[in-house]
Amino acid sequence: AQSVSQHNHHVILSEAASLELGCNYSYGGTVNLFWYVQYPGQHLQLLLKYFSGDPLVKGIKGFEAEFIKSKFSFNLRKPSVQWSDTAEYFCAVNAPRGSTLGRLYFGRGTQLTVWP
């Protein structure tokens, strides 16, 4: 089975600080990678995804993530966070082939708190 590790359980930043949230996965084959965000009281939303091609992917609200295959990592970054980025962030991985097609494996989540 695949597993996903998110290194930080809770990150606290001031506005305008830079953000990097770590995500590592354990699976040797081809993967699809995702970051989801859950704002307080809202649906879980897709922030960005990587399927293939350019390993640096850009998502909504100025977020980006870099897929480093050799490190099994998919870290999320934002150069300058805002108070409205306060939310819980989940990394997820999917193996696109095989009988478990479609199911996602999620990390435990990172709660980001941004102080104004």
Partner 1 sequence: DGGITQSPKYLFRKEGQNVTLSCEQNLNHDAMYWYRQDPGQGLRLIYYSQIVNDFQKGDIAEGYSVSREKKESFPLTVTSAQKNPTAFYLCASRTGGALNIQYFGAGTRLSVL
Contacting positions for partner 1 (CB under 8 A): 1, 4, 6, 9, 32, 34, 36, 42-46, 49, 51, 90, 92, 94, 96, 101-104, 106-109
Q: How far is the CB of 50 from partner 1 (least distance, A)?
A: 11
- The closest of 23, 2, 28, 22 to 94, measured between CA atoms, is 2
Closer to partner 1 by Cβ: residue 9 or 54: 9
CB of 79 to partner 1, least distance (A): 26
Cβ partners under 8 Å of residue 9, min gap 6: 108, 109, 110, 111
Shortest Cβ distance from residue 94 to partner 1 (Å)? 6
Nearer to partner 1, 39 or 79 (CB): 39
| 3-state SS class at 35 | strand
Q: Which is nearer to partner 1, 10 or 16 (CB)?
A: 10
Buried b (16+ CB within 10 A) or exposed e, 25-61: beeeeebebbbbbeeeeeeeeebbbbeeeeeebebee
CB of 62 to partner 1, least distance (A): 20
Closest CB to partner 1 among residues 32, 72: 32
